[in-house]
Chain A
């Protein structure tokens, strides 16, 4: 009996030893780089937000094509990237399911998406649990305030958009010698609209403006005559408005039909007024409207011109906010992977190592910066880029033109509106 017990003891000991040696050997071996790295594109491809999602996906696809043409991830032996796309639908459940499906089927190294902030928040629960890097193109401030470790946002947040919308009007009024003192702030009532409005409100107060009217409204509103009448009664010099795409058309048409047009209507949040679809739907009514943009389609760099040309070939128009953002986001991810390859050659694809690479990243040149609104990309612990800033596009002669910041403007802003009625 004693002999049998000793034999069992020896067997267990040898098993433990073999297991230890095997696992230690594995840990010490250099992690193999796969033949290709999958980048997930998780965007709303159906439903009300599909208009943004399909162009965002295209931005990622073009970026991946350009990265592969340029030799892939060089620090990882020139490994090529591949896009796997999934529809995140219209609600939190479909967003989570989309993230789970993408991760289980394709094992992506990172996911780019989901443009709509509430969907981003939902999907980030999955990416965080699975330790997958999430590169977000959603604007709401709180997206980066939830303590997510694997979430990064190179672009400007919503409150920066709101701030930019006010600062642009103040700058343009100073240049044109127009007296601007009274502002009306209007936004659709989601977290996105509210984040934009908070930025605008803060900027208006900081700059000593008087807020004479402030309202939130549901974006599926069917008649805005009451709001336009109230705005006119408050007599603001300009209106700062964060619409949600469809409602921008209703507002622009009602402003025009009512004949109650302030000195300027400055959009914020990049939805509506200046994107190609809105210009198409509004026709000449879109003229002189402006909106903030997280991407500068007029940035005069070879990389940006190449992207604009390729995007135009596929869609017939210049890149939208979503398309442009996903382009530089994907390039930023590429740079982080490059850095991770250099810093952690033994385990460059470990999500914790990629996170460390993101935090050490300081891009001041290269394709990501060449297509970025400002000239620097770094990341804070929360995943935000402190150097991000929005640009302003204004519709002039039917074309969206970059008019702010003034030093990099494509053309001079038309300010005040020539058709102002009060």
Chain B
């Protein structure tokens, strides 16, 4: 009996409306997922390191957002102004203290290090904030607006717009600044980039710092409508791996499209089929892409 009830909308129009509403919801969530994936893509693309702690960077960012918002009464959407530089420094430090030493090691060592970092961050979060969930009870972006028959939640909409804007700005940074070009050059051919005078050490540190700092924006946006607890990083980590596999490396537009595909798949599965099926659908897409196009749908390398 449980979970087997028919959908409330019995008419065809009702079903179409529900599908469109789910696509809208999924698109908005997908943009936020894309922003989270951007950080992972940067680190993986440049350093060839699979950062298993990436989702936990998002979790830590959400806690910092909670702190900034509740201790200093800063509006949630403005917290990245504080958390972004902090997470950037945290990323740089993590790179020099931990990641740099593993660059020449085998994959298994790198995986062990980032999994260890993931466990460490989780333990730190539990120590500092306990296992209790933390949430922000008010944000100026909470509310709804209606377009036709469709309700759009302001928090998700704002988060999606900010996410796309940040990805676009980041794309400009990569294409039109010296540091951005250095990151791309190091990603394409480290030896050639080094011969051109690019310090690989600093470029890697910068990429890791930026990859980490981007989670500050994602964390800030997520906290406008979500709660945070020490174990939630894993979910975001896995989702971003999935989106990265779908997008491939070296494409910001691909990341947005892939994020939206995953968001819509998740939302449609949840709304039109069964909420328990959302992960199934997302990881089915992940497996299919790995099988049919191992380099991703939009990857350039």
Interface residues of A (CB under 8 A from B): 46-51, 54, 185, 187, 189, 194, 197-198, 201, 211-218, 220-223, 225-227, 229-230, 233-235, 245-246, 249-250, 253-254, 256-260, 277-278, 280-285
Give every chain A residue within 8 A of B8 (Cβ-Cβ). 212-213, 230, 233-235
List residues of B (258-293) whose CB comes within 8 Å of A's CBs. 266-267, 270-271, 274-276, 278-279
CA distance A263 to B285 in the complex (A): 39
Using Cβ atoms and an 8 Å threshold, which residues of chain A touch B132? 51, 277, 280-281
Q: Of A201, A225, A260, which is in contact with the most chain B CB atoms at under 10 Å from its CB?
A: A225
> Is B275's CB under 8 angstroms from A51's CB?
no
Tell me, yes or no, whether B100 is within 8 Å of chain A by CB: no
Residues of A within 8 Å of B29, CB to CB, are: 222-223
**In this complex, what residue of A is CB-closest to B66?**
A281
- Please, how many angstroms separate the alpha-carbon atoms of A183 and B31 in the complex? 34
The minimal Cβ–Cβ distance linking A278 to chain B, given in whole angstroms, is: 7
B153 touches A197 (CB 8 A): no
Given contacts A194-B2, A215-B3, A223-B29, contact A229 B21 (CB under 8 A): yes
**Chain A residue with the shortest CB-CB distance to B155:** A257
Residues of A within 8 A of B9 (CB): 233
Q: How large is the interface on B (under 10, 10 to 19, 20 to 34, 35 or more residues)?
A: 35 or more
> Closest residue to B150 on the A side, CB-wise?
A229
Residues of B that sit less than 8 Å from A by CB: 1-5, 7-9, 14, 18, 21-22, 25, 29, 126, 130-135, 137-138, 142-144, 151, 153-156, 225-227, 229-232, 235-236, 266-267, 270-271, 274-276, 278-279
Contact B18 A246 (CB under 8 A): no
**B residues in contact with A246, CB < 8 Å:** 133, 227, 229, 232
Is chain A's binding surface mostly helix, strand, loop or mixed? helix
Q: Which residues of B contact A212 (CB under 8 A)?
A: 5, 8
Q: List 7 A-B contacts (CB under 8 A).
A: A201-B2, A214-B1, A217-B275, A218-B276, A226-B267, A259-B143, A278-B133
Closest 5 CB pairs of A and B: A283-B137, A226-B271, A217-B275, A234-B8, A50-B131
Closest to B137 in A: A283
Which of A48, A213, A284 interacts with B230 by CB under 8 Å? A48
A46-B126, A214-B5 are contacts. A259–B144 as well, Cβ < 8 Å?
Answer: yes
Q: Given contacts A220-B232, A257-B143, A258-B144, is CB(A225)–CB(B134) below 8 Å?
A: no
Residue among B4, B22, B135, B275 making CB contact with A249, cutoff 8 Å: B135
Find B126's partner among A50, A216, A221, A284 (CB 8 Å cutoff): A50
